[in-house]
Structure 1
Amino acid sequence: HLFAPIGLDIGAKTPSEIAVSVVSELMAIYNKTSKKSLRDKSENLIIVRGAGDLASATILRLHNAGYRVLSLEIEKPTTIRRTVSYSTAMVRGEMSIEGVMCKRVESVEEAKSVMDNSMIAILHDPAGVSIKKLHPAVVVDAIIAKKNLGTTIDMAPLVIALGPGFIAKKDCHIVVETMRGHYLGTIIRQGSAIANTGEPGEIGGESVRRVLHSPYAGLFMSDKHIGDIVTIGEVIATVGEKEITATLSGVIRGLLANNIEIPVGFKIGDIDPRGDVKSCSTVSDKGRAIAGAVLEAVDAFHSGRAL
């Protein structure tokens, strides 16, 4: 159905200009596009490197705030908290977190189409090649590698990095603190985040024991699932022929996917002593704090505040 008056407001006056105006609106309706300028789309685009649980919390918050988000990931992610990580879409093809869908795409063009349909896109692009093609307003390094894996301050007008391994004003414009505690979610405009201590943050009174690292090298396999309740000493996985047992009782909050070859010391799981099964499928308090800081920095940037 067409309704008069029709046509986009481009200041058309002559018959030929009015024809362009009408055709423009008809094409927008036919192709189901937003009618926004391509420049607006570029300014509204945020590329996030990584799609683990903290990256996904950030991606989700940015998407819900109205931004177009493209995530870049490796082909075979080794994410632990897979039920709240968009990296799972690299294997499944799609992943929904708190009702928001992310779809794997194979090209920049497909990514644009997915984002045009109000979804998050994820692309195999660990080197960030698509950043130069898309010219996003914002790039967020959310790999959480505790070191810089190639992010530079000239990748976008605003570059944000999560956690240690980055220096604000050198590697990026802003660093966000990821260490649990008083400073979690702090926006750092000069300097770095707190250095990696090697010890996980405390949850339910447990720190080191709640995170599982394999003492063996080999093929990881498990018949357990995220959300399962386990007791201390219970076998939860094997690496090669060796058994890995639970270091405490609680709910399995994170677990490595099967059929992955791992080295000694590799992180394979996370047990939450609080035993809250529902928390396994929702964004964590830590994730929300970090995501909120990123959104604050992005909104401040778009409002014209100095970096």
Structure 2
Amino acid sequence: MDRKLILMRGGGDLGSAVAHKLYRCGFRVVISEVENPLVVRRTVSYAQAVIEGESIVEGVKAVLVKTQDDIIPAISHGDIPVFIDPQLDIIERLKPYAVIDSTMSKKNRGMNIQMAPLTLALGPGFKAKEDVDAVIETKRGHFLGRIIYNGQAIANTGIPESVNGYGKERVLRAPCQGTVMHKREIGDFINKGCVICSVNNEPVKAPFDGMLRGLIMQGASVKKGLKIGDVDPRCKKEYCYSFSDKARAVAGGVLEAVLHHLHHARIPNQ
């Protein structure tokens, strides 16, 4: 077992911030993804490597690897390998020190506390001490980034926290089932009422003046109600290409949990 090797399930914006921080702190990180990731904040998500072959966020590159044999060479090259393996079959071969569920799916889709010496999960849907060793709080507020060793994270409300007075309006959702076609791109300034994209020719309009911070990939097949975009009223282009304060807080909580476990694993009598 390699105490520096961490396997992550999910390379969305929060998971990518975690992977980035762990990588920068000297850990070797592998990201497991699905074949067709539907990420909204594509510019800060390593899952985008599945679509484009690679993804660079804040100076750290992730690359898509096609086989298990390609994982270690990618790590040796200084990259974060992204491997299509939603069931985490690679665990037996990698024998990671920690497995982290960062899918933000709000439910346990196969995580098991016995998967590795340390198992973590981000957000609601998991019970610490039962599903995983610990859960990291992802809801904005006083406890954001807290490590929960007993119990669960705060339940999902489905309503984003307010930014400059805008809450649920910030999230764009598919008006119907169908295929997404872009009219605007991430980083564009948009005026209230302008068409951002369409789903099966049904327009999705800007709810207020702002900047398009996230937009699901062109041609994605989506279900009605799925989150497909993110409008930011702060209108700062750099926010579109960097991790959020929330993502950094969650990543800090994960790093603390990993280091705490490593420290006590070395001192079994304390």
Is TM-score (shorter-chain normalized) higher than 0.5?
Answer: yes
AA matched with 1:89: A
Question: Which residue of the partner structure matches residue 179 of structure 2?
Answer: 219
Secondary structure of the residue aligned to 1:221 is strand
Question: Which residue of the partner structure matches residue 159 of structure 2?
Answer: 199
Shift of 1:108: 2.0
Secondary structure of the residue aligned to 1:297 is helix
Are residue 182 (structure 1) and residue 151 (structure 2) matched?
A: no
Q: Take 1:230 and 1:303, find their aligned partners in 2: how far apart are those partners?
A: 49
Q: Is the 8 A contact 2:175 2:202 kept in 1?
A: no
Q: Take 2:10 and 2:166, find their aligned partners in 1: how far apart are those partners?
A: 27
Question: Which residue of the partner structure matches residue 57 of structure 1?
Answer: 17
Question: Which residue of the partner structure matches residue 303 of structure 1?
Answer: 263
> Unpaired runs of 5+ in structure 1?
1-38
Shift of 1:58: 0.2
Q: Take 1:103 and 1:214, find their aligned partners in 2: how far apart are those partners?
A: 29
Are residue 293 (structure 1) and residue 253 (structure 2) matched?
A: yes
Q: 5 Å matches for 1:21-100? A: 39=1, 42-100=2-60
Question: Which residue of the partner structure matches residue 124 of structure 1?
Answer: 84
Question: Which residue of the partner structure matches residue 16 of structure 1?
Answer: none
Q: Whose helix proportion is higher, 1 or 2?
A: 1
Are residue 258 (structure 1) and residue 212 (structure 2) matched?
A: no
Structure number with larger C-alpha Rg:
1
Question: Which residue of the partner structure matches residue 36 of structure 1?
Answer: none
* Structure 1 consecutive aligned stretches of length 4 or more whose deviation exceeds 2 Å: none
Question: Which residue of the partner structure matches residue 170 of structure 1?
Answer: 130
Higher relative contact order (CA 8 A, sep 6+): 2
Q: Is the 8 A contact 1:217 1:263 kept in 2?
A: yes
Cα deviations by residue, 1:92-115 (Å, 9 ceiling, x for unpaired): 111100011111101222111111
Q: Take 2:92 and 2:191, find their aligned partners in 1: how far apart are those partners?
A: 49
Secondary structure of the residue aligned to 1:304 is helix
Secondary structure of the residue aligned to 1:132 is helix
Secondary structure of the residue aligned to 1:279 is helix
Secondary structure of the residue aligned to 1:154 is coil
Are residue 157 (structure 1) and residue 157 (structure 2) matched?
A: no
Secondary structure of the residue aligned to 1:43 is strand
AA matched with 2:126: F
Shift of 1:217: 1.5
Cα deviations by residue, 1:38-77 (Å, 9 ceiling, x for unpaired): x5xx211000000000000000000000000000000111
Same amino acid, percent of matched pairs: 42
Q: Take 2:264 and 2:146, find their aligned partners in 1: how far apart are those partners?
A: 20
Counterpart among 270, 275, 282 of residue 230 in structure 2: 270
Cα deviations by residue, 1:242-299 (Å, 9 ceiling, x for unpaired): 1110111101010010111211101110000000111110111000000000001101
Q: Is the 8 A contact 2:183 2:195 kept in 1?
A: no
Q: Take 2:240 and 2:173, find their aligned partners in 1: how far apart are those partners?
A: 19
Q: Take 2:240 and 2:34, find their aligned partners in 1: how far apart are those partners?
A: 23
Q: Take 2:77 and 2:220, find their aligned partners in 1: how far apart are those partners?
A: 34
Secondary structure of the residue aligned to 2:63 is strand
Q: Take 1:94 and 1:128, find their aligned partners in 2: how far apart are those partners?
A: 21
Q: Take 1:224 and 1:203, find their aligned partners in 2: how far apart are those partners?
A: 22
AA matched with 1:268: I
> Unpaired runs of 5+ in structure 2?
none
Q: 5 Å matches for 1:222-237? A: 222-237=182-197
Q: Take 2:178 and 2:109, find their aligned partners in 1: how far apart are those partners?
A: 26
Question: Which residue of the partner structure matches residue 240 of structure 1?
Answer: 200
Q: Take 2:126 and 2:56, find their aligned partners in 1: how far apart are those partners?
A: 30
Shift of 1:149: 0.9
Cα deviations by residue, 1:177-235 (Å, 9 ceiling, x for unpaired): 00011111010000000001111122222110000112212111113111001011111
Question: Which residue of the partner structure matches residue 107 of structure 2?
Answer: 147
Q: Take 2:13 and 2:255, find their aligned partners in 1: how far apart are those partners?
A: 16
